[in-house]
Amino acid sequence: MSNPANTKQVGPQARITMELVRLESQKREFWVLIVFAGVVLVLGTLSFFFPHRFWEGGGLHVNLSPQVLFVIMVGAVCASLFYLRRDLEIQGPRLANTQQYMSSQEEQAKGMIDAVTNVFTRAFLHDLVTGEISRAERTNRPLALIMCGLNNFKQVNDRYGHLMGNYVLSQVAAILKICVRGSDCVIRYGGDEFLILLPETDQEGGETVLQRARRKVAEWDHMNRMGDLPISVSLGLHLHVAGQTVDMDVAEADARMYADKKATKHGIMASTVPLTQ
């Protein structure tokens, strides 16, 4: 398993961090250039006042006098220092402000994701569903919602503790995410319930996702049974109807999920009643 600390970072925040590192490097180069300019300035001054001691023997063959040459060198160094300092003054505050903005955006993004299940939190449900409803009604395309609830989840928490309960939630959330497309959304509605948002999905497509999720969770439960507690999901599919609000759509999907849960519970109870002879 790779160490997260060694993982190469990508994205705007990483690029801003790299720019700040580069800026710090430029600051060091700035002081090196200052020292170099000081040395050149001292040598130039000494050469200007004592040319014969510095150029004895005529070792340098140029058309310019030593004094003029050193003045040009000093001028070039001073100009470089000026532009480098100006660049640092401009880039420093700009990059710092950009990093602060990116940090705030990153914190906001973290608030969108549930820490246990790694899916969207309920805090953003209204915005997500509202946006998809608007798009569906504008383009006259279908929009499906599936409410998903875990069966026997309370017993898992009571018997094995909340850490095991969180593990089950994270596993089911991961299963739901692989059952949908990249354009779909999985939202933790609360407790052991998830809302799946399926843009441009009709009744047939919604049923396909519903059956796939039910099958995948059953396969996972078969391999990871919690003692004698089978983990399954109850699912309720609802298609958005023009004019319905977010709360109405979610309530419809929730009601159908509970109807499925009730039917599942009655089916289990019926299967445990012995047949009369």
**Interval 126-150: pLDDT, tens:** 999 999 999 999 999 999 999 999 9
What is the C-alpha R_g of the chain?
34
234 versus 48: which is more confidently predicted? 234
pLDDT band at 258 (very low <50, low <70, confident <90, very high): very high
What is the structure's pLDDT at 102? 54
Mean pLDDT for the chain overall: 77
Mean pLDDT confidence for 7-14: 47
Q: Which residues are CB-contacts of 217 (< 8 A; sequence separation ≥ 6)?
A: 172, 175, 231, 232, 233
% of the chain beyond a pLDDT of 70: 57
Q: Which residue has the tokens 């250039």?
A: 33
What is the structure's pLDDT at 213? 97
What tokens appear for 233 in the block? 């999901």
Q: Which residues are CB-contacts of 205 (< 8 A; sequence separation ≥ 6)?
A: 142, 144, 198
What tokens appear for 16 in the block? 């801003």
Q: Which residue has the tokens 């023997």?
A: 57
pLDDT of 273 higher than 60: no
Per domain, the residue ranges of the chain are 8-112, 122-272
Answer for the pair 33, 87: CB distance below 8 angstroms, yes or no.
Answer: no
pLDDT band at 2 (very low <50, low <70, confident <90, very high): very low
Q: What is the DSSP string of 85-133?
A: HHHHHHHHHHHHHHHHHHHHHHHHHHHHB-TTT-SB-GGGHHHHHHHHH
What tokens appear for 51 in the block? 């040319």
Mean pLDDT confidence for 106-123: 79
**Range in 107-121, 132-146, 151-165, 197-211 with the lowest mean pLDDT:** 107-121
Answer for the pair 191, 128: CB distance below 8 angstroms, yes or no.
Answer: no
DSSP lists the bridge partners of residue 151 as: 232
What is the structure's pLDDT at 250? 96
Superfamily of domain 122-272: Reverse transcriptase/Diguanylate cyclase domain (3.30.70.270)
**Range in 146-155, 168-177, 188-197, 260-269 with the lowest mean pLDDT:** 260-269
Q: What is the DSSP string of 217-259?
A: HHHHHHHS-BTTB--EEEEEEEE--TT--HHHHHHHHHHHHHH
Residue type, 198: L
What is the structure's pLDDT at 124? 86
pLDDT band at 157 (very low <50, low <70, confident <90, very high): very high
Q: What is the DSSP letter of 61?
A: -
pLDDT band at 201 (very low <50, low <70, confident <90, very high): very high
